[in-house]
């Protein structure tokens, strides 16, 4: 089995979970004996995870801040701003076109050429940015197409105002695909109800956890708080509507009154940072909040190990890999019920993101009852590593087999 796979970002040049999930999937598929040709839009360092990697633009190395440049999760407002700024973006200087959509289309044109030159059994495209590439590859090769939904436009906009063009691209990809894979049942339901895709071809393949990473030196703000024996509630994720940073502040407010020794560390950046800082100030919580910026690898591992509770208050979270990361590092977690990860983990607390009191009460319990914290630490660690990327890889391999046999390889 040989797969032509289209991605948009890859660790260490990833802005979030999409890159992490792609790496996990490729690793799991390799363990299952599946060959993957992994295609990325532009020359970038991908570590040693990829045996066979192609770049749509192999000549221009990626420079600058990958996290902001490649961010496929731009809010509608930011996204419009990017469009208007046109070709002045760093990173894609050789690529014609002025907007994110133009880049997506250009990627599809290159994809057709790559597909023509190679031999493979199935095409696999991750999220809307690569769906046109997948479609183009299907058209020239006649091979079956699998699209993988890591997030939908409804998640990215917090179920607010989806961008029409993005929605249409997503829909076209899902309709043309021979198989649609969703990272959770939560996402599957959204794909069926918001996009009207035939439920029979929509399958759930959950993401997986990974062993904990070694901790590097902790970010200064966290080290300082621990030295002062403060309690830390951690937020990890982009500061954007979907992730519920505003709800994090509301919960913090409720906790601060009850446990004044609690501090709140925000690891991530995004379009809502200004709003979040304003809300913190208005709540009189200036002294209780630390903004650590975007953390990765060892630094993030240190944050997970030193914090007391992880809160994922997402408004709409297709999966939520950070919850598995936090738990595998032994961090007791409170996760939004409006998430995919809540389907696969048991040894954590689950709460509706809008139920501030219930969320705060669960966090306070972890802070107040040492036996609870210790049990969540140990059981959570096991729970988060119960299934690995190889399990995900196995399910995908089986799906490829059935898609290929169903379509007669066409």
Partner 1 sequence: MPKICLYFQVHQPFRVKQYSHFRIGQDHDYFSTEAQGNLNNAEIFRKVARKCYLPANRVMAELLERHPEFRISYSFTGTFLEQAAAYAPEVLASFKALVKTGRAEVLGETYHHSLAFLFSRDEFRRQVALHRDAVRRHFGVRPKVFRNTELIYSNAVAQEAEALGFKGIIAEGADRVLGWRSPNFVYRPAGTRRISLLLKNYRLSDDIAFRFSSRAWNDWPLTADKFASWVNAVDSHSVSVNLFMDYETFGEHQWEDTGIFEFLRHLPDQILRHPGNSFATPSELVAAHQPLAEMDVPDYVSWADIERDLSAWKGNPLQDDALAAAYALEQPVKASGRATLIDDWGKLLTSDHFYYMCTKWFADGDVHAYFNPYESPYEAYVSYMNALADMRARLAMEGGETYA
Q: Tokens 């969320």: give the residue.
A: 359
Rama region for 375: left / alpha / beta (φ>0; ψ in -120 to 50; rest) = alpha
**Of 3, 7, 21, nearest in space to 128 by CA:** 7
3-class secondary-structure state, position 339: strand
Verify binding: residue 379, partner 1, rule CB under 8 A. yes
Q: Which stretch binds partner 1 (CB under 8 A): 73-81, 130-138, 302-310, 368-376?
A: 368-376
Q: With respect to partner 1, which residue has the nearer C-beta, 176 or 372? A: 372
Q: With respect to partner 1, which residue has the nearer C-beta, 272 or 360? A: 360
Verify binding: residue 374, partner 1, rule CB under 8 A. yes
Pairwise CA distance, residues 83 & 265, whole Å = 33
- Cβ 365 to partner 1 shortest distance, Å: 4
Site for partner 1 in 73-132 (CB under 8 A): none
- Cβ 277 to partner 1 shortest distance, Å: 27
Verify binding: residue 352, partner 1, rule CB under 8 A. no
- Cβ 193 to partner 1 shortest distance, Å: 25
What number of chain residues touch partner 1 (CB under 8 A)? 21
Verify binding: residue 258, partner 1, rule CB under 8 A. yes
Verify binding: residue 361, partner 1, rule CB under 8 A. yes
Q: With respect to partner 1, which residue has the nearer C-beta, 69 or 334? A: 334
The answer to whether the bond into 12 is cis (omega within 30° of 0) is yes
- Cβ 234 to partner 1 shortest distance, Å: 18
Verify binding: residue 231, partner 1, rule CB under 8 A. no
Verify binding: residue 381, partner 1, rule CB under 8 A. no
DSSP 246-310: HHHHHHHHHHHHH-TTEEEEEE---TTHHHHHHHHHHTT-GGGEEE-----HHHHHHHHHH-SEE
Q: Give the one residue of 330, 372, 391, 404 binding partner 1; rule: CB under 8 A.
A: 372
Pairwise CA distance, residues 131 & 350, whole Å = 33
Q: Which stretch binds partner 1 (CB under 8 A): 118-126, 143-151, 305-313, 361-369?
A: 361-369
Pairwise CA distance, residues 251 & 96, whole Å = 46
- Cβ 359 to partner 1 shortest distance, Å: 10
Verify binding: residue 330, partner 1, rule CB under 8 A. no
Pairwise CA distance, residues 338 & 383, whole Å = 19
Q: Give the one residue of 125, 221, 307, 376 binding partner 1; rule: CB under 8 A.
A: 376
Longest Cα separation, the chain: 65
Residue 382 neighbours by CB distance under 10 Å: 11
| Count helices and strands in the chain by DSSP H and E runs | 16, 13
Q: With respect to partner 1, which residue has the nearer C-beta, 119 or 374? A: 374
Q: Which stretch binds partner 1 (CB under 8 A): 30-38, 229-237, 244-252, 354-362?
A: 354-362
* Cβ–Cβ under 8 Å, residues 159 and 39: no
Verify binding: residue 324, partner 1, rule CB under 8 A. no
Verify binding: residue 290, partner 1, rule CB under 8 A. no
Write the binding mask 331 to 350 for partner 1: x where contact by CB under 8 A, - elsewhere.
---------------xxxxx
Verify binding: residue 203, partner 1, rule CB under 8 A. no
3-class secondary-structure state, position 327: helix
3-class secondary-structure state, position 325: helix
Pairwise CA distance, residues 177 & 146, whole Å = 6
- Cβ 259 to partner 1 shortest distance, Å: 10
- Return the HEC string of 107-176: HHHHHHHHHHHCCCCEEEEECHHHHHHHHHHHHHHCCCEEEEECCCHHHHCCCCCCCHHHHHHHHHHHHH
Verify binding: residue 364, partner 1, rule CB under 8 A. yes
- Cβ 368 to partner 1 shortest distance, Å: 8
Tokens representing 81 are 């701003």
Q: With respect to partner 1, which residue has the nearer C-beta, 125 or 363? A: 363
Verify binding: residue 369, partner 1, rule CB under 8 A. yes
Q: Tokens 């360092």: give the residue.
A: 45
Verify binding: residue 261, partner 1, rule CB under 8 A. no
- Cβ 309 to partner 1 shortest distance, Å: 12
Q: With respect to partner 1, which residue has the nearer C-beta, 157 or 262? A: 262
Contacts 24+ apart (CB under 8 A), 223-231: 223/306, 225/263, 225/265, 225/290, 226/306, 229/261, 230/261, 230/262, 230/263, 231/259, 231/261, 231/262, 231/263, 231/308, 231/309, 231/367
Interface with partner 1 (CB under 8 A): 258, 346-350, 357-358, 360-362, 364-365, 368-369, 371-372, 374-376, 379
């Amino acid at each position: 089995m040989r797969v032509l796979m289209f991605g948009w970002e890859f660790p260490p040049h990833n802005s979030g979970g999409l890159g992490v999930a792609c790496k996990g999937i490729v690793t799991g598929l390799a363990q299952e004996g599946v060959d993957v040709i992994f295609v990325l839009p532009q020359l970038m360092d991908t570590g040693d995870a990829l045996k066979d990697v192609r770049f749509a633009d192999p000549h221009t190395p990626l420079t600058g801040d990958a996290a902001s440049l490649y961010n496929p999760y731009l809010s509608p407002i930011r996204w419009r701003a990017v469009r208007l700024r046109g070709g002045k973006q760093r990173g894609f200087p050789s690529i014609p076109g002025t907007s994110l959509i133009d880049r997506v289309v250009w990627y599809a044109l290159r994809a057709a050429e790559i597909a023509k030159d190679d031999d493979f059994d199935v095409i696999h495209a991750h999220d809307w940015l690569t769906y046109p590439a997948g479609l183009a590859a299907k058209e020239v090769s006649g091979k079956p197409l699998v699209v993988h939904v890591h997030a939908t436009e409804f998640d990215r906009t917090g179920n607010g105002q989806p961008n029409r063009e993005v929605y249409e691209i997503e829909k076209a990809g899902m309709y043309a695909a021979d198989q649609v894979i969703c990272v959770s049942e939560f996402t599957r339901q959204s794909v069926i109800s918001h996009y009207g895709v035939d439920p029979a071809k929509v399958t759930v393949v959950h993401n997986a956890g990974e062993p904990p990473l070694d901790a590097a030196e902790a970010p200064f703000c966290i080290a300082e708080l621990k030295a002062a024996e403060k309690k830390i509630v951690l937020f990890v994720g982009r500061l954007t509507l979907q992730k519920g940073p505003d709800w994090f502040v509301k919960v913090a407010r409720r906790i601060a009154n009850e446990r004044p020794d609690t501090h709140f560390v925000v690891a991530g950046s995004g379009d809502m940072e200004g709003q979040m800082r304003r809300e913190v100030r208005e709540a009189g919580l200036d002294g209780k909040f630390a903004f650590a910026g975007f953390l990765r690898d060892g630094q993030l591992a240190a944050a997970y190990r030193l914090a007391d509770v992880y809160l994922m208050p997402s408004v709409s979270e297709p999966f939520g890999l950070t919850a598995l990361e936090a738990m595998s590092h032994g961090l007791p977690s409170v996760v939004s019920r409006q998430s995919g990860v809540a389907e696969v983990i048991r040894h954590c607390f689950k709460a509706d993101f809008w139920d501030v009191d219930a969320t705060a009460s669960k966090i306070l319990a972890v802070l107040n009852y040492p036996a609870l914290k210790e049990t969540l630490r140990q059981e959570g660690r096991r729970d988060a590593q119960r299934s690995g990327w190889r399990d995900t890889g196995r399910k995908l391999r089986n799906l490829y087999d059935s898609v290929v046999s169903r379509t007669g390889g066409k």
